[in-house]
Homo-oligomer: A and B are copies of this chain.
Amino acid sequence: MSTIDNAFDAETLRVLGHRLVDRLADHLRDSRENLEMPVLPWAEPDVSIANWPGDFPAGPDPDPAAFDALLGRVIDGSTHLHHPRFVGHQVTSPLPTAALAEFAGAMLNNGMAIYEMGPVATAMERAVIRWMCDRIGYGNEAGGLLTSGGSVGNLTALLAARQSHAGFDAWTGGASAGPPLAVLSSDQTHYCVQRAVQIMGWGSDGVVAVPVDERFRMRPELLEDAFGRAEGLGRRVVAVVASAASTSTGAYDPLDRVADFCERRGLWLHVDGAHGAAAAISPKYGQLVDGIERADSVVWDAHKMLLMPALVTAVLFRDGARSYESFAQQASYLFEGRDPSEEWFNGATRTLECTKRMMSLELYSTLAVHGTDMFSEYVTGTYDLARSFASLIAASHDFELAVEPDANIVCFRFVGDGLVEDTDLDALQDRLRSRVNASGRFYFVRTALPKGVFLRVTVINPATTGDDLALLLDAIREAAE
């Protein structure tokens, strides 16, 4: 058999596939149960480069176990997100069923630019978008799409906002057809919003900052002032971008009051709910997103609080027809020259991607099989746990809590018992974080707040317990000694 025929041989797939399933099942078990296993086998970038050289051979590896062995090394060398002591970035420990669905999607590779290339994935996308629209309280005329991550999603929504509210045809005429544009947003907004604005050519002044309160929530009573400042700079404001929740501290902007302002001023309201729109499915925490149903557009990452592997991002529009405004364009070899809104099923009219992964399959199949309660209990559980962790910190004399958490993100710093009073607290946090992470016992991150550098935990793995978090504080204490 030729090399390529062998590579596509079904029996080879069967053998390699069964081995990989066993490897990943073992790894899942070990990650969740063997707390002695390091969360992160730390290696400096140079070491990783040496471990993974780029001198690929011309011919196939003669060892039939080579692929299996290589993936074994990949698994060992990666950050173990299913480990209960992974409390780092807002990247979830993915559902095994979702990963299996992604495997099926990778084999089927139905590209989804147009319906014919992904009939099942297209229908599933419609279903999960409908489910998400319902969860945030949108009506029947709502719609949207899935795309490759929150950055692309926020850009897609802001392109629709530009086209709808610039007051001129910015898509066709370009920036020079009207005044410079701006959005209003707090400085706690994810950096991709600023990036989207600068991609669109609005410059760094294209985001006009709205101050936040002591809990890092946008102060809606200062929106009018920000609006005036934007106008003073010769900017036309098209939208307000609210965070639900912010990245650094997980703060929810007060959506209802922001929506009031947008209505009064005739502005597009975009909610970056990449992380926290999922609160909408929690009976206990749903009130955090009260008012989200008034937003013109919402971004919601299923790979954050819906347990999906990255990237599965929803862009939802209160008026689904708006979703055709982001990219007002045609391509003859795809769309046959028809009105795109008559062809909701040809997805590339509305997504930045042309070819797209079958990402709906992961969310659809897990919602169908596990049921929706599991997801809402997961959201409630992580938000609950973050609150109890914050209480523990607040009650500890040697730690300082940055702010009561709205979401499942907790920021805090080690302040010691007074011995460290003269210490550079910022450098100390970075040192403690490096030491604990390098030990492999935990993985957590850091952020810079106005008061300085803080340690940052996201409770995103359903296996993480209060005991794990208490031990994290102990590990930091030990590292400080």
Contact = CB atoms under 8 A, between A and B. Distances in A.
A56 B131 contact: yes
B25 A13 contact: yes
A192 B377 contact: no
A208 to B, nearest CB: 13
Given A25-B13, A119-B77, A333-B248, A149 B71 contact: no
Contacts of A430: 336
B131 A8 contact: no
Contact of A372 (B58, B77, B78, B204): B58
Contact of A74 (B54, B77, B120, B199): B120
A435 to B, nearest CB: 14
Given A56-B131, A71-B101, A175-B176, A8 B21 contact: no
Nearest to A206: B174
A301 to B, nearest CB: 8
Nearest to A346: B45
Nearest to A447: B333
Interface string A431-448: 000000100000101111
Contact of A95 (B8, B128, B175, B377): B8
10 contacts: A7-B370, A7-B374, A8-B32, A13-B24, A56-B367, A67-B365, A88-B116, A200-B201, A333-B447, A336-B446
B110 A78 contact: yes
A268 B120 CA distance: 41
Contact of A368 (B25, B57, B91, B445): B57
Contacts of A136: none
Nearest to A12: B96
Contact of A98 (B106, B155, B170): B106
Contact of A361 (B13, B74, B355, B366): B74
Contacts of A126: 49, 54
Secondary structure at chain A's binding surface: helix, strand, loop or mixed?
Answer: helix
A107 interface: yes
Given A337-B448, A437-B116, A365 B71 contact: yes
The 9 closest A-B pairs by CB, nearest first: A174-B203, A54-B127, A17-B21, A201-B201, A103-B103, A175-B175, A10-B29, A175-B201, A332-B448
A40 B116 CA distance: 8
Contacts of A90: 355
Contact of A91 (B54, B330, B355): B355
Interface string A142-153: 000000111110
Among A12, A71, A354, A370, find the residue whose CB has the most chain B CB atoms closer than 10 A.
A354
B79 A117 contact: yes
Interface stretch (A256-264, A291-299, A303-311): A303-311
Nearest to A361: B74
A372 B54 CA distance: 11
A69 to B, nearest CB: 10
A395 interface: no
A38 interface: no
A270 interface: no
Interface in A86-114: 88-111, 113-114
Contacts of A201: 170, 174-175, 200-202
Contact of A311 (B66, B79, B102, B357): B357
A45 B345 contact: yes
Given A10-B29, A99-B106, A148-B148, 6 more contacts: A58-B372, A89-B113, A91-B109, A111-B310, A149-B352, A332-B448
Contact of A21 (B4, B13, B364, B368): B13
A14 B8 contact: no
Contacts of A333: 247-248, 445-448, 456
Contacts of A110: 78-79, 81, 91
A123 B199 contact: no
Interface in A151-203: 151-152, 155, 159, 170-177, 180, 190-192, 194-195, 198-203
A275 B48 CA distance: 30
A176 B236 CA distance: 13
A175 B178 CA distance: 11
Contacts of A29: 10-11
A430 to B, nearest CB: 8
Interface in A1-39: 3-4, 7-8, 10-14, 16-18, 20-22, 24-29, 32
B202 A356 contact: no
Nearest to A97: B67
